[in-house]
Amino acid sequence: EAQVTQNPRYLITVTGKKLTVTCSQNMNHEYMSWYRQDPGLGLRQIYYSMNVEVTDKGDVPEGYKVSRKEKRNFPLILESPSPNQTSLYFCASGRARVSHNTEAFFGQGTRLTVV
Amino acid sequence: TQLLEQSPQFLSIQEGENLTVYCNSSSVFSSLQWYRQEPGEGPVLLVTVVTGGEVKKLKRLTFQFGDARKDSSLHITAAQPGDTGLYLCAGQSYNNNDMRFGAGTRLTVKP
């Protein structure tokens, strides 16, 4: 089954404790992206990647890191989480540079609470 | 400031009514997509519009891409409770296919 898998689904952590949210897709997609979703603000892009070893900042990259060492994985790293990073996070993947009809496939989301 | 502005932010209507939601931008997009998101789930693609002025129909949903490729609308005819959800528009840039989302319209259809 074609899917994007995020882990964990729920996470409560303390300020300053490094964490990683994993994202994996099995569709051989070049494009992967991380978004955070907050009430009234919708989906805001954190980082995206057009292919292996190619990553770019989105609209709200501060406090986050990503890596793309393999095509299927795109982990989101919070080196020193703060309460303002409490949010619902989504990973998405899609084809890139093939056509204008790049559908984004989303994971189930990770609800992160930083106390 | 959102690259894509969606309106209204919230909409609550009775079953059987018609409605239109809007997605506007000052930027030109190679394509524009509409997604629907239900609680606890990620967004799921409804439609992609590519050509300026294009109209696409999906059962009771009609999507239109503006002539200038900067805006889009979603019209729902005879809304049903099953249409309840968050409707998101997403614009795809010309240079690298990167996608940006609007804040969404949260639709509630009451029986």
Mean pLDDT to the nearest integer, B61-89: 95
The answer to whether B90 and B35 are in contact (CB under 8 A) is: yes
Q: Which residue of chain B is at minimal alpha-carbon distance from A40?
A: B103
Burial of B62 per CB tally in 10 Å (0-12, 13-18, 19+): middle
pLDDT in tens, chain A (115 residues): 889 999 999 999 999 999 999 999 999 999 899 999 998 788 899 999 989 999 999 989 999 999 999 999 999 999 999 999 999 999 999 886 545 567 889 999 999 999 9
Q: Which residue of chain B is at minimal alpha-carbon distance from A43?
A: B101
Candidate from A94, A97, A106 with C-beta closest to B43: A106
Matching residue, tokens 């932010």: B9
B79-89 as b/e: b if 16+ CB within 10 A:
beeebbbbbbb
CA-based nearest residue to A35, from A10, A64, A3: A64
B residues 30..49 contacting A (CB < 8 A)? 30-31, 33, 35, 40-45, 48
Candidate from A40, A44, A48 with C-beta closest to B98: A48
Matching residue, tokens 């106390």: A115
Candidate from A43, A97, A106 with C-beta closest to B97: A97
Minimal C-alpha gap between A77 and chain B (Å) = 20
The answer to whether B98 and B3 are in contact (CB under 8 A) is: no
